[in-house]
Amino acid sequence: MYRSSHSDHAILGEYRKIAETLFPPGGFSPEQEPDLKAVADFAKALGIDTEYQRLFSLDGNDKKMREFLGHFQNNLDLLIQKTWVEKADETRKEKLQDEIPSLMALIGRGDFQQALEDFGKVLDELAYLFFGSQSAKDDFTEYTFRIDIQMGLFWWYGCQLGILKKDNVPDDRFLRAILLLGLCYLTNF
């Protein structure tokens, strides 16, 4: 789903600075410190800042975090189940549902790099289930911005996840923060 060069122009001016701070246009440089404030600012732009801040402050094994992850998993499962698709795409839905437990296990183990990679794949499939072949087009994020600004920001975020590699973002706290953005948004979708 990574489409940085084509999707960046879809971001409205008021959100461009927030987006570019979170995911720099040229990617992360080795000397650049990941910016947790940028993640919080992006959460605010998505309309999930209160929930995001609450969750970010929790330990991964905290009871409230486990409850949240259960809500996320249930909501994601409902989103997948309620998506209307052609009969030929039913197997895609089933396959996506089968991938959710392994994503949850990665999150539970704190393997945020792999969880982000798998989450990106989940978002790619979810975009297909929601938007069909439009999700594979270069103007997909622009299309979602026309539907709703926050939705457009979320799908733009999903398209950026491919640039987060362990060798250029070594900070697990940042990777966890980036992952929480998507989890919070989909839980409240």
Segment 99-119, tens digit of pLDDT: 999 999 999 999 999 999 999
For residue 166, what pLDDT is reported? 62
Q: In this structure, are residues 146 and 11 in contact, taking their beta carbons and an 8 Å threshold?
A: no
Q: Give pLDDT, residue 5.
A: 41
What pLDDT is recorded for position 18? 84
Percent of the chain with pLDDT over 70: 88
Per-residue pLDDT tens over the stretch 1-44? 544 444 555 666 777 888 888 887 777 766 667 788 999 999 99
Q: How many CB atoms lie within 10 A of CB 34?
A: 19
Considering just the CA atoms, what is the radius of gyration of the chain in Å?
16
Give Cβ neighbours of residue 89 (< 8 Å, ≥ 6 apart): 128, 129
Question: Where do the structural domains in the chain lie, given as residue ranges?
Answer: 4-18+35-187
Q: What average pLDDT does this structure show over 62-80? A: 93
Structure letter (DSSP) for residue 121? H
Whole-number pLDDT of residue 19? 84
pLDDT given for residue 17 in this prediction: 83
12-26, 40-54, 130-144: range with lowest mean pLDDT: 12-26
The Cα–Cα gap between 163 and 176 comes to 15
pLDDT interval class at 84 (50, 70, 90): confident
One-letter amino acid identity for 39? Answer: V
**pLDDT category of residue 98 using cuts at 50, 70 and 90:** very high
Of 89, 78, 97, 103, the C-alpha closest to 131 is 89
Residues 6+ apart with CB under 8 A from 130: 83
Share of the chain above pLDDT 90, in %: 58
Question: In angstroms, what CA-CA distances link 37 with 22, 41, 128?
Answer: 9, 6, 31
Instruction: Compute the mean pLDDT over every residue in the chain, rounded to the nearest whole number.
Output: 86
CB within 8 Å of 71: residues ≥ 6 apart: 187
